[in-house]
Amino acid sequence: MTFLLNRRSLIASVVAAAAAFSPLSAFAGDANPDTLRVALLPDENAATLIQNAQPLKEYLAKTLDKKIEIVVTTDYSSMIEAMRFGRIEVGYFGPFSYVLAKSKAPEIEAFAVGVEKGKPTYNSVLIASKEGPVKSFADIKGQSFGFGDQASTSSHLAPRAHLVKQGLVGGVDYKAVHLGTHDAVARAVQAGQIPAGALSEPILRSLIERGMIDPAKITELGLTAPIPNYPIAMQGYLAPELKEKLRAAFLELKDEEILAAFRVEGFEAADDSSYDVLRETAELLNLQLAQMN
């Protein structure tokens, strides 16, 4: 089918993700700082993320012989801005938030990507409340649909594109509701506060395993196409020796507790071109990065 989208409503739905950005500019900070600030994508509760990252903090401190500060920003846009202006040295980005960060700060370098089930990809899952009105994609029409952060890949961009393929356009066929984080979407659907929503499938699986979501209270409507996994990026101005140590620290990481916190089996070298599919998806949705200044 031809993807006929309401351009204005789509741009409005993500403009907050880029509202804080100003024109492109390079930033050069300390090439070899005593303390490395490592930011984690705020896709779940910040306190939980920081707690789960303590083994990572200890590992990096020992491996790199540096002080490590774990940072969780208030939202995706704040993390992108922090990377752009040198307020963090390393960032664990969502795929689309990395694309946005790279568009604003071309000098940043993605150097590692998570591997799950032998592949550097994952899926977004679209779910519905078990007792709610949505039993299939067709039932979404006329309802509210929950997304996470506006710059999220698996809780906004990918499922929104998937809904377009089902003939459902946000603001026309359903009301888009942004709840900020993946776990907030899952809880809202489980409680019947919204009839349906979307989030990362690995995050949903983790929420179920931790007893935070009851699988008997939700229905899985389907999965999106594979999405390139979360990349880890670093500032381009860091010293070459430090860059190599960072690469090795993640690519050689074997600690199962740390990997479990990332919801991956390991890391492999990242390739920026793997994220071109998200740039193309954004263009499909008339969300061209050049229009998000």
The per-residue pLDDT string of the chain (293 residues; one tens digit each, 9 = 90 and over) reads 333 334 344 434 443 444 433 344 456 679 999 999 999 999 888 899 999 999 999 999 999 999 999 999 999 999 999 999 999 999 999 999 999 999 999 999 999 999 998 999 999 999 999 999 999 999 999 999 999 999 999 999 999 999 999 999 999 999 999 999 999 999 999 999 999 999 999 999 999 999 999 999 999 999 999 999 999 999 999 999 999 999 999 999 999 999 999 999 999 999 999 999 999 888 878 753 433 33
pTM summary value: 0.81
pLDDT of residue 43: 87
The Cα 204–Cα 185 span in angstroms is 10
- Domains, the chain, in order of start with CATH, read 14-119+228-291 (3.40.190.10), 124-225 (3.40.190.10)
Q: If we measure between CA atoms, which residue out of 158, 155, 209, 213 comes closest to residue 186? A: 213
The string over 259-293, giving b where at least 16 C-beta atoms fall within 10 Å of a residue's C-beta and e elsewhere, is: bebbbbebbeebeeebbebbbebbeebebeeeebe
Question: Do residues 105 and 242 make contact, with C-beta atoms less than 8 angstroms apart?
Answer: no
